[in-house]
Structure 1
Amino acid sequence: MAEQRVSQLGLTVRGFTGGPFAQNSYLVVCVETKLGILVDAGAAAGEMLRTADAEGVRIEQIVLTHAHLDHMDGLPLAKRESRAPVLLHPEDEPLYYAAPTQAQRFGMEMEPLPPLDGRLSHGEMVRVGNCELQVRHTPGHAPGHVILVGDGLALVGDCVFAGSIGRTDLPGGDLQQLMKSIRTQILTLSDETALYTGHGPETTVGHERVSNPFLVPDLGGRGFA
């Protein structure tokens, strides 16, 4: 479990890592109201739910950044225990309903996923108690990939990592789209913005802008000139 951080918005953001892919899922909570959301529901979903229960947090929504197996293999449990609506961008619905095929590809078994309850769209606001996070559509790693952006923070799924970017060799991946998403939706944020990633440690926009080898031309990346 990652260290809890309090954002300028009055939110706490805590990461939980689990499973063979070491995937990060996040419990995001409004400090004032004790209402929260889950951002992705990977193998650490049980730990997130136990933490929420112990702290008196009510989970109001489960937001999926995208529909790859490692970001939703704990979703059946999360849905069953929280009864919260599950939200996904519509362009990732085919991947969502192909979860059994994804599991088979990696030699894994997976409990059937619950029906989706709602669709995310670019620019809409996701409420977390008295706070809000903006949905931004960031295709490239997956067709319906989204990030959630607030003042001083962004939950970026598998769009960008500390020192790397999301892979684009899976079905629906597109490197040009991914680079455009990073350029227009992430690197336009302030350098101080904390990036909570789907794998690996937290980073910042400023750090990735000058040190990520996939983004900086002098380090061998494509760059954005």
Structure 2
Amino acid sequence: MLVTGFPAGMFQTNCYVLAQEGSSDCVVVDPGQDATEPLLRFLGESGLTPEAVLLTHGHLDHTWSVEPVCEKFGIPAYIHDEDRFMLSDPLRGTGPTLAALLGDAEFHEPERVVDLNSGTSLELAGIEFGVLHTPGHTQGSVVFTIDVETPDGTLAIALTGDTLFAGSIGRTDLPGGDHEQLLRSIATTLLPLDDATVVLPGHGGQSTIGQERASNPFLVGLAGPEQGKL
């Protein structure tokens, strides 16, 4: 399976592309600011056509290019219903801090938007995605999980958006953020995953659940579901 990504725009948000080996269909995750041009170039060079765009949450640095990408290929965007409002009104999710940056820019929902439900699975481009609701960074934050077959066995991957990073966690000082809720989400939803699960975050480099459990300073004292009463 192809699992690749690149950081885009001033926010250096990781945009990911996933496709089954030998398939021309793919899925795009979190096309942020200035992601359209490099994404289209990569898709063209690789002979890939996206079937859908998945969004880990509604913040503009992850959704900036979702409308043009969806329009280009006539595909839907998937986002949790708690964050859907940010597709057309991103300042409600970030507060006034981005107003000067946006200027006269306008944002609209793609023509087709599918609401994500936690605990369900999606089959797109021949890939089965699990959907884990992890509120705290935003109320509609989700983590997408997939299993990849390798010569050494099955490798689990979690696309964690801004819920969990290598050595850090998502900020909670923006509208809809809740630090204690974020820790609960990580404790009850992510830490139960196998230690070998590869973490592909929304910013920065990859990690594993085991590495974050052992060394992430924000997770000290979090051990798993039993910590859900934080």
- TM-score bracket, normalised by the shorter chain, equals 0.7 to 0.9
Alpha-carbon distance between aligned partners in 1 of 2:197 and 2:223, rounded to the nearest angstrom: 20
Gaps of 5+ in 1: 1-10
Partner of 1:108: 101
Check conservation: 1:92, 1:143, Cα contact below 8 A. Answer: yes
Residues 9-61 of structure 1 show CA distances to partners (whole Å, capped at 9, x for unaligned) of xx321111021211111111121322111111102232122211221111000
Residue type of the alignment partner of 1:16: F
Partner of 1:8: none
Matches within 5 A, 1:48-197: 48-100=39-91, 102=94, 105-106=97-98, 107-109=100-102, 110-115=105-110, 116-151=112-147, 152-197=156-201
Check conservation: 1:30, 1:128, Cα contact below 8 A. Answer: no
Check conservation: 1:30, 1:131, Cα contact below 8 A. Answer: yes
CA RMSD of aligned residues (A): 1.9
Alpha-carbon distance between aligned partners in 1 of 2:70 and 2:106, rounded to the nearest angstrom: 12
Residue type of the alignment partner of 1:70: D
Residue type of the alignment partner of 2:17: L
Aligned pair in 2 of structure 1 residues 100, 166: CA closer, same or farther (>3 Å)? closer
Partner of 1:5: none
Question: How far does residue 150 in structure 1 lie from its aligned partner after superposition?
Answer: 1.6
Alpha-carbon distance between aligned partners in 2 of 1:223 and 1:185, rounded to the nearest angstrom: 11
Alpha-carbon distance between aligned partners in 2 of 1:32 and 1:122, rounded to the nearest angstrom: 30
Residue type of the alignment partner of 2:9: G
Alpha-carbon distance between aligned partners in 2 of 1:38 and 1:57, rounded to the nearest angstrom: 11
TM-score (norm 2): 0.85
Instruction: Check if 1:42 corresponds to 2:35.
Output: no
Pairing partner for 1:208 from 192, 208, 212: 212
Residue type of the alignment partner of 2:139: P
Moved runs in structure 1, 4+ residues, more than 3 A? 100-104, 222-225
Alpha-carbon distance between aligned partners in 2 of 1:45 and 1:26, rounded to the nearest angstrom: 12
Question: How far does residue 111 in structure 1 lie from its aligned partner after superposition?
Answer: 4.0
Identity among equivalent positions (%) equals: 38
Check conservation: 1:69, 1:103, Cα contact below 8 A. Answer: no
Name the SS for the 2:212 alignment partner.
helix
Residue type of the alignment partner of 2:133: H
Residue type of the alignment partner of 2:23: T
Which stretch shifts more, 66-75 or 106-115?
106-115
Alpha-carbon distance between aligned partners in 2 of 1:169 and 1:199, rounded to the nearest angstrom: 17
Residue type of the alignment partner of 1:59: P
Alpha-carbon distance between aligned partners in 2 of 1:124 and 1:131, rounded to the nearest angstrom: 14
TM-score (norm 1): 0.87
Which stretch shifts more, 45-54 or 129-138?
45-54
Number of equivalenced pairs = 211
Name the SS for the 1:91 alignment partner.
coil
Partner of 1:18: 8
Check conservation: 1:46, 1:78, Cα contact below 8 A. Answer: no
Residue type of the alignment partner of 1:38: V
Residue type of the alignment partner of 1:195: V
Name the SS for the 2:132 alignment partner.
strand
Question: How far does residue 96 in structure 1 lie from its aligned partner after superposition?
Answer: 2.8
